Chain A
């Protein structure tokens, strides 16, 4: 028996959300009295290092058919690895790859799935109960997986990574994909990788701005604030719709849902559709010149004032804090 974690990579490097999944998977494994096994595809990284996050073993797959993301082929490879490792639980990060794979694997193995889980399983009395957000963050559901084999996709930023000095045993695993003909071809991967900044769903600190900024030319101060904090920038829907900011920055119901430790919203009124994407943030700061902005009701800290005056002051204050901590 074991817990298998699919560790996704970008340019061969394991993603932060997958490191969280490994750490989480190792906790699930201890609950079940077994070991965590990580599965990594086509990576030249030093995979023994995944032991730091709790993997006892790493299965390393090298296969040209898996060079680009094809959920059909990759699910087959993961199912074979799960079988070989005797995995009762398979864990994914709940991101653009994990969502495709977890649902396919669940249907393939007839294994119950909880997607976007935010808790460890409660295994009292033979149950396997996980919590997830439902109704766009307006409620939680505790879901019991009834099947012997289980699939979990873990919400990013739900389980902080804790690293140790441990090292994992690395073994090659060969997946047999000869029986599957896929008609999917990835032609292009375009990732605007601002160097060193976490992509949005993984980001712990997010600075977001909306129509209150008046125009795209005023985003310099938003980026400066994000830089000082090491935060990722985001935006509201209208701003992405009129093309002031790229679509991949749009958070909210129709954009992406995030749950950073800190979400700073500048010049965003806080429509219910926006809140649906950010209401799981641990701390919300709202800066808006309208004291009636609905966002203040969902905020932890608020400042009523003009962004063009507050943001530069905020940048200076963060710089001062940083200097005093060094």
Chain B
């Protein structure tokens, strides 16, 4: 079983968001970057569980500059066997997906895993794009994944419930909560990660489909209106006459 896990570098969840260059670029100054949590906690850890049980290898793939090596080493410390960084520099989903698909096509992976979305651009786009470019099935928002005798079974979350899906052959899956529990790398893992392979691959040319014009911060929220616990009817009245939501 050969599994490819796609990871993205994102600002830590608690980061205060600001922009530079006339609000066209995210301000990376003093920002703590992490492996996108869905990629790490769910896709990577489940991939490791599967190969620990049934054998095989887990390869990490990331698209970005050498600045990203730090998060790739983190993923290796958690337990992945080796890693590939495609030396491209674009945050656009189609660019990232094209690079990964182009590489994955030649390597014979059984499963390509992503998180359900990244916590920066919240696109939920890359997994579906990779699948289409590879011409294979895509299962999004999976909360379980089991592989038995060449057949993969997944539960995917849908509005108000779930679907159980089976796939044979290569496929792409986006992972969410339920898949696995986060793992903290131990000292041995961190030491081993330093010498695990990190192959740098040149990017292919990809046409740009979209461009970010400007970022805006939401207007400051008006102060909360506090209502006395003895006057609950006042809240209902305000929701009806002032907020007009009921």
Task: Point out residues on A near B: beta carbons under 8 Å.
Answer: 10, 69-72, 75, 95-97, 99-108, 110-116, 127, 129, 132-147, 182-194, 199-202, 205, 229, 247-248, 250, 253-257, 261-262, 272-273, 276, 282-283, 285-286, 296-306, 309-310, 313-314, 317-318, 320-321
A146 touching B224 by the CB < 8 A rule?
no
Chain B 147-184, CB-CB to A under 8 Å as 1, else 0, gives 00000010011111111111111010000111000000
Known contacts A107-B133, A133-B122, A276 near B238 by CB under 8 Å: no
SS class, residues of chain B in contact with chain A: mixed
Contact of B158 among A102, A110, A140, A189 (CB under 8 A): A189
Instruction: Please determine whether B239 and A283 come into contact, CB atoms closer than 8 angstroms.
Output: yes
Contact A300 B240 (CB under 8 A): no
> Are B140 and A321 within 8 A (Cβ)?
no
Q: Which of B120, B166, B236 is the one whose CB lies under 8 Å from A314?
A: B236
Q: Are B129 and A106 within 8 A (Cβ)?
A: yes
Of the candidates B124, B162, B166, the one whose C-beta lies within 8 Å of that of A184 is B166
Q: How far does the alpha carbon of A80 sit from the alpha carbon of B95 in the complex, in Å? A: 24
Q: How far is B159's CA from A202's CA once the two chains are assembled, in angstroms?
A: 9
CA distance A142 to B126 in the complex (A): 19
Q: What are 13 A-to-B residue pairs whose CB atoms are below 8 Å?
A: A96-B157, A99-B141, A102-B128, A103-B126, A103-B127, A103-B128, A103-B129, A103-B132, A127-B213, A142-B215, A184-B167, A313-B232, A317-B232
CB-CB contacts of B114-137 with A at 8 A, as 1s and 0s? Answer: 000001111111111111110111
Task: State how many residues of chain B have any CB contact under 8 Å with chain A.
Answer: 85
**Please, how many angstroms separate the alpha-carbon atoms of A200 and B159 in the complex?**
7
Contact B211 A143 (CB under 8 A): yes
B137 A146 Cβ-Cβ under 8 A: no
B234 CB to closest chain A CB, in angstroms?
9
Interface stretch (choices B60-68, B104-112, B190-198, B202-210): B202-210
Report A224 CB to chain B, min CB distance, Å: 14
Question: Could you say which residues of chain B place their CB within 8 Å of the CB of A313?
Answer: 232-233
Q: Max chain B CB contacts within 10 Å: which of A111, A297, A318?
A: A318
